[in-house]
Amino acid sequence: MAIQGPIPINFHQVFPHGCYIVGEVEQVKDFDASNNGRTVYAKDKNTGELIWQVAVMDADPTVKAGQKTVSVKILSPVQPIVPAALPGLPFVPVEFDGMTATAYVGQNTGRLAWSIRATAMHPPRSTAVPVKASNGKDVAA
């Protein structure tokens, strides 16, 4: 198979309308290695970096309500810092760098799902540009 492992992607491919942090940055636990009250935290198999996760809300208005919030895992030796909140916004806008997507089959649903990872989190560089649907007429000119 030509594609193996994580697929490199950029932020705007995953969140063309941007995204907002809706949870705390938490360290991911390694449930297989943890035992008897001893907590072991997960590390990336390739880099050895600690894995953190944060819940974000997709700003795309066409996404179904049940699919709006996703977890982004961040590889970092220290806890990533959430960008400062902007005045007047109820949520903190954020962008991610070094993103990858890994496909897997959900245990409960049996359906294809995606694990999204990143190497850095920062404030948006610019406001998200609305994606305009093309009807094909503007392509043939």
- Output the DSSP codes for 99-124: -EEEEEE-TTT-SEEEEEEESEEE--
Residue type (1 letter), 1: M
**Residue 30 reports pLDDT greater than 50:** yes
User: Could you state, in order of their start, the residue ranges of all structural domains in the chain?
Assistant: 7-25+53-122
Give Cα 39 distance to the centre of its chain. Answer: 24
Compute the radius of gyration of the chain from its Cα atoms. Answer: 17
In this structure, what token pair is assigned to residue 11? Answer: 């932020």
What are the Cα distances from residue 65, in Å, to 58, 60, 141? 10, 10, 38
| pLDDT band (50, 70, 90) for residue 136 | very low
Q: Please tell me which residue, 50 or 136, carries the higher pLDDT value.
A: 50
**Residue 128 reports pLDDT greater than 50:** no
**Percent of the chain surpassing pLDDT 70:** 88
pTM of the model: 0.81
Report the SS3 class of residue 130: coil
Predicted pLDDT at 3: 76
Q: Please tell me which residue, 34 or 62, carries the higher pLDDT value.
A: 62
Range in 2-6, 64-68, 110-114 with the lowest mean pLDDT: 2-6
Give the contacts of 63 (CB within 8 A, at least 6 positions apart).
Answer: none
Q: Please tell me which residue, 46 or 118, carries the higher pLDDT value.
A: 118
CB 73 within 8 A of CB 115: yes
